[in-house]
Chain A
Amino acid sequence: MSGRSPFGLGVARGLPFIVIMLPFGMLFGVLATEIGLPVAQAMGFSVLVIAGASQFTAVQLIAEGVPAAVVVLAALAVNLRMVMYSAAMVPHLGSAALWQRAAVSYLLVDQTYALAVSAYEDSPAWTLRDKLMFFAGTALPVFPAWVGASWIGAALGGRIPESWSLDFALPLAFLALVGPMLKTPAHVTAALVSVAAALAFAWVPWNLGLMIAAALAMMAGAEVERRS
């Protein structure tokens, strides 16, 4: 790691993710304004929730006029994986001060989690301070890129021509996120059950069919894993 400080290394590892954060953040901003949300609310999502897939889910369901409680539950379900991230940080950062753990939790997204876990495993000699500095380094490019891109998208939103058919951008973005997640037969099974049940229960009011599908799919994935 050529004498770089853990903070500098974190910044270097986080920078390439700007390429991902910019188009996704802009797409979120555009879609949020397209369904009629003011710029302040698009920014509210990106600053207070900071979780792309669940923000897209919430915006999609708001557009469908689903009751607020169902919007929150469905979008939260997308974020359940963060519980795993939180647990994975405990052996490395569990002895940090409370305010430091609170700050890390705020910035614990897919990218910072993935970078931190792999760096901590590669550098067992790092002190607690080194680990915290690396994490702060990864968040430095990632978080402003997400917030800034959302703002650009929200500001541009109204100026995108109708003919660009952005309504299909959201399904494409989700499918692109799912592809790399299909790592094992258990993941593939969960995804197939999710699709089949979501279509079969599409008639259930308030989009609760999605919640039924998600519960069945998690059970199917866990069961396949248990048997293999």
Chain B
Amino acid sequence: MSEATVWLIIAGLGAGTYLTRFVFLGLVGDRPLPDWLLRHLRYAGVAVLPGLVAPLVVWPDATGGQPDAAHLIAAAVTLAVGVWRKDVIQAVIVGGLVFAGLGWAL
């Protein structure tokens, strides 16, 4: 990808993201949103991130796309710690240590 294309991506993503933050506070004000729209927006985060991660965990590049125990176990542990502790940093640290440990052990 050319450097100019990446700048175009940065500009487009920056403008679009700013608009998602400005749309109500700056433009719409306190006019009510339709309930169905709010209901869908509430799930945007959990709808995108797991789908983005799933192929990277199941078919990792590092193994040439073959499912691999270290990747699957480390992913499960990271998710479990995140759900249990409700803490992003603890989950990353524990998951990273498990992945490193399995890479050394297996």
Residues of A within 8 A of B (CB): 19-20, 23-24, 37-38, 41, 44-45, 48-51, 53-54, 57-58, 60, 62, 65, 68, 71-72, 74-87, 89-91, 93-94, 98, 101-102, 104-106, 108, 165, 167-182, 186-187, 190-195, 197-199, 202, 210, 213-215, 217-222, 225-226
Q: Collect the chain A residues with CB atoms within 8 Å of residue B64's CB.
A: none
Contact B89 A72 (CB under 8 A): no
Q: Collect the chain A residues with CB atoms within 8 Å of residue B92's CB.
A: 23, 172-173, 176
The smallest beta-carbon distance between A123 and chain B, in angstroms, is 19
10 A-B pairs with least C-beta separation: A179-B82, A221-B43, A48-B14, A198-B51, A217-B47, A176-B91, A80-B44, A86-B24, A194-B51, A213-B51
Q: Collect the chain A residues with CB atoms within 8 Å of residue B69's CB.
A: none
With contacts A82-B21, A176-B92, A213-B51 known, is A187 near B78, CB below 8 A? no
Residues of B within 8 A of A (CB): 1, 3, 5-14, 16-18, 20-26, 28-30, 33, 36, 38-62, 71, 74-75, 78-89, 91-92, 95-96, 99, 103
Given contacts A76-B17, A210-B52, 4 further A-B contacts (CB under 8 A): A83-B20, A87-B25, A101-B22, A198-B51
Residue on B with the closest CB to A176? B91
With contacts A175-B95, A176-B82, A198-B54 known, is A82 near B17, CB below 8 A? yes
Residue on B with the closest CB to A37? B6
Q: Collect the chain A residues with CB atoms within 8 Å of residue B18's CB.
A: 105-106
- Point out the residue from B23, B25, B43, B59 that lies within 8 Å of A222, measured CB to CB: B43
Give the distance in Å from the alpha carbon of A198 to the alpha carbon of B53 in the complex: 9
Interface of A is mostly: helix
Contact A65 B1 (CB under 8 A): yes
Contact A222 B20 (CB under 8 A): no
Contact B7 A178 (CB under 8 A): no
The smallest beta-carbon distance between A215 and chain B, in angstroms, is 8
Residue on B with the closest CB to A82? B20
Q: Collect the chain B residues with CB atoms within 8 Å of residue A170's CB.
A: 56
Contact B9 A62 (CB under 8 A): yes
The smallest beta-carbon distance between B65 and chain A, in angstroms, is 11
- Point out the residue from B20, B61, B83, B88 that lies within 8 Å of A20, measured CB to CB: B88
Contact A169 B43 (CB under 8 A): no
Contact A41 B51 (CB under 8 A): no
Q: Collect the chain A residues with CB atoms within 8 Å of residue B36's CB.
A: 222
Residue on B with the closest CB to A169? B96
- Point out the residue from A58, A172, A174, A225 that lies within 8 Å of B13, measured CB to CB: A58
